[in-house]
Structure 1
Amino acid sequence: MGHLAGTWLRRIGLTAVAFAGGAVSSHLAGATSQTQSPYAPIEQLARALALVENQYVEPAQRNKLIEGAVKGMVAELDPHSAFMTAEEFSQFQEETGGRFGGVGVEVDYRNETPTVIAPIEGSPAERAGIRSGDQIVAIDGKPTRGERLDKLITLMRGPAGSKVRVLIRRPGVTEPLNFELKREEIRVTSVVAKRMEHDVAYIRLKQFQEGTHEELLQAAGKLRAASKSPLAGVILDMRNNPGGLVDEAEGVADEFLGSGTIYSTRHRNVVVDEARATPGGAFSSLPIVVLVNEYSASSSELVAGALQDNKRATVIGTTTFGKGSVQTIYELPGGAGMRLTTMRYYTPSGRSIQAQGVQPDVVVQAAKGDKLAEVMRESDLEGHLAPEGASGGKPRPVLVGGGEGSEISRDVPADPRKGKDFVLSLGYETLLKEARKGR
């Protein structure tokens, strides 16, 4: 059993009810009210199961029916609780472990089309020549249009050594491109670090998976070994970080704090736990700037909120996604699993992030004329947990020139002021000013 604070930023659901060219036969037998009995819901489920097994037009498999009933029951709770089949649970465990069989591409929807954000360095996709911006038209001959992103990711994954065919449409190229890729075990690193000019450490956290805290400590050692000069400060970039494992996020936050609360959790309005920082963190004495955006969710919001409330960092960017709940992972018989929302988490000052997000200290608004994608946050998801408390606070300074329209750098320049990433450039300038004040 483990705890997860992650998110799925795109949920696409289709419900169809058709009464076309047919007849409806109604049998209303034995509809006795049993609302007083605690066993009434179970009796109703058993009755429905018997009717489907005996009266459905085609023979139905009982295990599939039960599986569907459990899925529907859990899905009714909130957008982040889910029953997972054995296959789905296995894939989920691979994702949180940072290893899976696949071709090595980061994919997201852009203009309603699954698009390659970036191939993973050294992966089959990168070696084959797949590029950022490539649109995935078909996978093994199956068109991708209209399919859920998680299903497309499942189609591209598989045992190492197996092959998958991917049809690509590339901007500027007339004909579609065919790629046959051999899957390999992909190891996704969650921490990217670089030492910039003026001794600024840039650390990007992609997600919180098994080993993220250890990766951060290794990065800290390399950053310090890269020069005899001490580090002047840290830019912690958590833009597009969807969250992940809570214990890893707690460990990461602890490296930036010397004392104080990291977060607290409540179950049915009762405090369950309070995580506190310990002395001696790897970056606990350095100035920090945190970069976030609307796709920073859950565990990344937990870390941003902890550093902001403890006055350890200036947070820059756009208001975050707003997922303030924790999911506990349960193993079920037959290899299945369940992701169940069991707690809400709160920042050190008692703020609830749920359906509100973390508001940056400096809000960066997209420049006028930038083409903006439709932004979906927790509050837009059907069935989300209600927010608690006020979301306002003090008005924040607003700067125009980036945010949702800002290009997030993959190859970070030594001096971000010379690059296209407005938010990173702003964070760099802010950190340099804070470092000079501390001298």
Structure 2
Amino acid sequence: MSNKKYITLGFATVAVALTILFSANLFAKNTESTKKEASRLEALAKFTKVISIVEKYNVDAVTIEDLMDKALQGMMTNLDAHSNFLTQKDYKKLKVQTDGEFGGLGITVGVRDGALTVIAPIEGTPADKAGVKPGDIILKINDESTLSMTIDEAVSRMRGKVGEPIEITIVRKGEAKPLTIKIVRGIITIESVYTKTIGDDILYVRVTSFDKKVVEDISKAINKKKAMTKGIILDLRNNPGGLLDQAVGLVDLFVDKGDIVSQKGRKSSDDQVYSAKSSNTITDVPVVVVVNGGSASASEIVSGALQDHKRAIVVGENTFGKGSVQVVLPITKEEAIKLTIARYYLPSGRTIQALGVKPDIEVFPGKVQQDENGFSIKEADLKKHLEEELIKADTKVSSEKKAKENGNKKDIISKEQLYKDIQLKESVDIIRALIIVKG
């Protein structure tokens, strides 16, 4: 009986102790929650007080609605370069971007170190033809400074009626003075995938942006040339990105297992992992990916994932470094906010944001250095060489006519074209080495 009494008292003591501990924890949590709520109310009171003071004493009359819009714009743009408050006018423009025709320049812009920076001109667009380059900093749009503009405001000002001229003032690395470029707005139509052949066994695939048909078009191109293809060069230079599912699908064509990219946010509901499936893989030939400072977002996911899986050699320059996820969240029927909710992470766990993808082999743009006169030949071959040059001179007119008639074999990249593009030339040399190693 005595032992039972002690056991009962022991249980009672433990129960009381647990109750006290639970109550203490609950009290601590309630206290912490109360402090947080008090802090929130204090911050909101401060905000309301400032709004009231500005409304009452500001030198220019301003409405409470205008003040709230300005406050929201300031708050969102100070979160990061891609978040923004969309007014009624901005939100309407965003919703109708894909409806009807609108004129544009054909450039993708971002904010780097606080400056409005060209990520890349889209191939074949007015900006591309006018000579806009990746890395150009846009100082002015017409006569308006961009220093206090958001990305959405800048894009809105660059859009307009087709055929209407616009001037942008840029700062370019290596140029002593700012440059003013005049561009005529045009309808932006993009052909995202181009394919050509190099020699008899290399497939060259150029992707200018990631639209909804990229994976389909590249799959068709690879399957069509599968019998002859021993290596693939994937050119993502000046590709500003696009649809995430297309980037994932493109990697999946080359990788048969493992993660491709993960998305991580503050809320677990925003977290997502995209993985490769062996059923989607269509080739195991060597791959080289060419990138530069204009390769951003989806391009960085593709190049970085293939690099992490050791499935491709990445050649060129460090990419832009845009690895965040934005969503548009309506706050009224006519207004919304664009908010960064997550970041992308590559299979190795590294982030793209602000860092970009570093190439395995760094190659800067330019021409392949050759002898100025093209006479790097032996003396014994000189006479033969000069005779060949005479033949070339005699047949120049007819050969030019023939080239014009057959389009100069547009689906083939010539040796002359390679020597004008050192990044591509290096990529070809690397893929040839990989083909030899594999074969």
- TM category (shorter chain) comes to 0.5 to 0.7
Alpha-carbon separation, structure 2, partners of 1:177 and 1:249: 33
Which has the larger share of helix? 2
Could you tell me whether the CA contact under 8 Å between 2:314 and 2:361 is conserved in 1?
Answer: yes
Distance 1:337 1:60, change over 3 A: same
Q: What is the CA-CA distance between 1:58 and the residue it aligns to?
A: 2.8
Could you tell me whether the CA contact under 8 Å between 1:198 and 1:232 is conserved in 2?
Answer: no
Could you tell me whether the CA contact under 8 Å between 2:300 and 2:356 is conserved in 1?
Answer: yes
Could you tell me whether the CA contact under 8 Å between 2:85 and 2:338 is conserved in 1?
Answer: yes
Alignment of 1:7-22 (within 5 A): none
SS of the residue corresponding to residue 40 of structure 2 reads coil
Could you tell me whether the CA contact under 8 Å between 2:364 and 2:423 is conserved in 1?
Answer: no
**2:262 aligned residue (244, 264, 272):** 264
Are 2:53 and 1:51 equivalent residues in the alignment? yes
In structure 2, the partner of 1:61 is 63
Distance 1:223 1:249, change over 3 A: closer
In structure 1, the partner of 2:374 is none
In structure 2, the partner of 1:101 is 102
In structure 2, the partner of 1:297 is 296
Letter in 1 for 2:201: D
In structure 2, the partner of 1:188 is 190
| Structure 2: gaps of 5 or more residues | 1-35, 170-179, 370-409
In structure 2, the partner of 1:41 is 43
Could you tell me whether the CA contact under 8 Å between 1:327 and 1:343 is conserved in 2?
Answer: yes
In structure 2, the partner of 1:238 is 236
SS of the residue corresponding to residue 250 of structure 2 reads helix
Alpha-carbon separation, structure 2, partners of 1:94 and 1:411: 36
TM-superposition CA deviations, 1:50-74 (whole Å, max 9, x none): 2233332333133322121111112
Alpha-carbon separation, structure 2, partners of 1:57 and 1:411: 66
Distance 1:366 1:131, change over 3 A: closer
TM-superposition CA deviations, 1:398-435 (whole Å, max 9, x none): xxxxxxxxxxxx99834477332111111122112222
Could you tell me whether the CA contact under 8 Å between 1:98 and 1:187 is conserved in 2?
Answer: no
Alpha-carbon separation, structure 1, partners of 2:159 and 2:275: 39
TM-superposition CA deviations, 1:322-368 (whole Å, max 9, x none): 3333223323323333222222322112223333332222122578x
Distance 1:98 1:266, change over 3 A: farther
Distance 1:47 1:93, change over 3 A: same
| Structure 1: gaps of 5 or more residues | 1-33, 170-175, 371-409
SS of the residue corresponding to residue 244 of structure 1 reads coil
Q: What is the CA-CA distance between 1:119 and the residue it aligns to?
A: 8.2
SS of the residue corresponding to residue 279 of structure 2 reads coil
TM-score, normalising length: structure 1: 0.64
Alpha-carbon separation, structure 2, partners of 1:425 and 1:163: 38
Alpha-carbon separation, structure 1, partners of 2:157 and 2:129: 17
Distance 1:199 1:414, change over 3 A: farther
Distance 1:330 1:318, change over 3 A: same
Distance 1:78 1:303, change over 3 A: same
TM-superposition CA deviations, 1:206-265 (whole Å, max 9, x none): 3334x1xx233124324644x684322221122223333333322222222222110123
Letter in 2 for 1:164: E
In structure 2, the partner of 1:280 is 279
Alpha-carbon separation, structure 1, partners of 2:345 and 2:99: 27
Q: What is the CA-CA distance between 1:275 and the residue it aligns to?
A: 1.0
Distance 1:241 1:228, change over 3 A: closer
Letter in 1 for 2:191: T
Alpha-carbon separation, structure 1, partners of 2:306 and 2:226: 28
In structure 2, the partner of 1:217 is 216
Alpha-carbon separation, structure 2, partners of 1:269 and 1:260: 24
Comparing 349-358 and 302-311, the one that deviates more: 349-358
Alpha-carbon separation, structure 2, partners of 1:348 and 1:119: 28
Q: CA RMSD in A?
A: 4.4
Aligned length: 343
Letter in 1 for 2:347: P
Letter in 2 for 1:438: K
**2:248 aligned residue (247, 250, 257):** 250
In structure 2, the partner of 1:420 is 420
In structure 2, the partner of 1:398 is none
Distance 1:37 1:82, change over 3 A: same
Could you tell me whether the CA contact under 8 Å between 1:258 and 1:284 is conserved in 2?
Answer: no
In structure 2, the partner of 1:340 is 339
TM-superposition CA deviations, 1:89-142 (whole Å, max 9, x none): 4545667x6986115544889xx9999x87864x7x59xx96446999998xx4
Distance 1:120 1:302, change over 3 A: closer
SS of the residue corresponding to residue 202 of structure 1 reads strand
In structure 1, the partner of 2:358 is 359
Alpha-carbon separation, structure 2, partners of 1:364 and 1:307: 18
Greater gyration radius: 2
Structure with the bigger RCO (C-alpha within 8 Å, sep 6+) is 1
Alpha-carbon separation, structure 1, partners of 2:47 and 2:158: 37
Could you tell me whether the CA contact under 8 Å between 1:416 and 1:428 is conserved in 2?
Answer: no
